[in-house]
Amino acid sequence: MTQIRPRGAVAPLRRPAATARRATVDAVVASLRPEEPVHCLRPHAVSDAARAFMAAFPGDVLYAVKCNAEPTMLRAIAAGGVAHFDCASEAEVRLVRSLFPEAAIHFMHPVKSRGAIRAAWSQHGVRDFVLDTDAELTKILQETGDGDDLGLVVRLALPKGNAAYDLSGKFGAAPAEAAALLRAARPHAARLGLSFHVGSQCMDPSAWTRALALAAQVIAASGVAVEVVDVGGGFPVAYPGSEPPPLAAFMDAIRDGAALLPQGVRLWAEPGRALVAGGASVVVQVQQRRGDALYVNDGVYGALSDAGAPGFRFPHRLVRPDAEAAEVTRTFTLFGPTCDSADVMRGPWTLPADVAEGDWIEIGQLGAYGTALRTAFNGFDRAHVTEVSDSPMLTTAGYEAVAARAA
């Protein structure tokens, strides 16, 4: 009988044995002289950002595991006080439960397989599930046995906004449909909620105020009591040429919108990028230079997906342990290691004019999605991971407040 077995395409990140824990990035490069990408984790920065967000947000903070599921980062999130996790798959649920047996796990994907619902409910103690259709509500009720302590959260669709990544087109029920779903779910729910997402890397605090005003209208139209409103994620961080408003501005906007909700409603939030972006950088090596083009050993099929078609700019610097770099700089385009011509990151990347084969480049703000979006295309899925003590290459106002007070 033929057996079907699962296969993971991406090689796990490997910890180089020769690298001292908590070393600096420069020390890692000088010691290892790596010919494969190295993910340099800053768990202290992640814990600080988590503490700052926890202190600012007036409700429960659910870390969006999809953003970075590296166990070191998850432990840093927990060390910062976060005890709730937003998961989108059975694999994420299983990972979080293996690390944190007592954590509150919320299955926040609006479309789930029946097997994933059953496993989350019966094996992993998950009690909260998101839906945006009658069909999904029926599926959840059937696979959980309409069990006690069931939390049901209706995903509300929002109009298209101005976030870097618009999330309005795939999930969410229109306001009238969301109100009807709240009414249908109410008899089955120990906790009934309404959720939304303004889009990833949203720079406009008022987007949350407008979304909460719409949520209040939907709750009123439903005519039923709602215990939770989930304001989603999307909280931005700094990138070169893009400095968001301070964290306090977003919290003020959320409080303004929450004042329109029925009294006693509990707020949830699902930050991902805001907690982990500064918590990792990736060191790549130059394998060839052709004029103003540098061919490096990681690219859009690896940790640098956002530097490709989305055009995100990232902080970066040359790392050259054995010699000084030229003071004069010039701009470069980076090409990744695969054979695909789309594996290009135009930046611009400003580096010393004498950058050459064998040099290393540290690229920061890759704690968000840098690990998560890696693929095995062309076999370039090997990478190392280590922990470093350096500060993040960029900071965002408000997210480092706890660290600043402690210094």
pLDDT at res. 240: 92
Domain containing 36 — which CATH number?
A: 2.40.37.10
Question: What are the tokens at 328?
Answer: 């004069």
Residue 371, pLDDT > 80, answer yes
Residue-wise pLDDT for 84-122, tens only, equals 999 999 999 999 999 999 999 999 999 999 999 999 999
The helix-helix angle for 71-79 and 43-56 (nearest 10°) equals: 40
- Amino acid sitting at position 82: V
Please tell me whether residues 321 and 267 are part of one structural domain. no
Task: Please give the tally of structural domains in the chain.
Answer: 2
- How many CB atoms neighbour CB 325 within 10 A? 17
Out of 276, 294, 328, pick the residue that ends a domain: 276
Question: What are the tokens at 361?
Answer: 């480049």
Residue-wise pLDDT for 170-187, tens only, equals 899 999 999 999 999 999
45-60 average pLDDT score: 97
> How many percent of the chain have pLDDT more than 90?
84
Q: With bands split at pLDDT 50, 70 and 90, how would you rate the model's confidence at 191?
A: very high
Please tell me whether residues 355 and 258 are part of one structural domain. no
Residue-wise pLDDT for 315-335, tens only, equals 999 999 988 998 999 999 999
- Which of 179, 116, 166, 196 has the alpha carbon at shortest distance from 310? 166
Out of 246, 276, 306, pick the residue that ends a domain: 276
Higher pLDDT, 165 or 377: 377
Out of 247, 276, 305, pick the residue that ends a domain: 276
Structural domain boundaries, residue 351: 25-41+277-387
Region at 347 (left for phi over 0; alpha for psi -120 to 50; beta for the rest):
left
Q: Are 73 and 279 in contact (CB under 8 A)?
A: yes
- Which of 254, 236, 255, 232 has the alpha carbon at shortest distance from 245? 236
User: How many angstroms separate the Cα of 215 from the Cα of each of 29, 193, 255, 339?
Assistant: 50, 10, 14, 47
Residue 14, pLDDT > 90, answer no
pLDDT at res. 11: 72
Residue-wise pLDDT for 268-306, tens only, equals 999 999 999 999 999 999 999 999 999 999 999 999 999
The rounded mean pLDDT for the chain is 92
Total-model pTM? 0.93
Please tell me whether residues 129 and 189 are part of one structural domain. yes
Please tell me whether residues 60 and 206 are part of one structural domain. yes
Residue tagged 């908590």 (tokens): 22
Domain containing 144 — which CATH number?
A: 3.20.20.10
Helix (H) or strand (E) holding 91: helix 90-99
Residue 133 placed within a domain:
yes
- Which of 270, 386, 399, 288 has the alpha carbon at shortest distance from 333? 288
Residue 19, pLDDT > 60, answer no
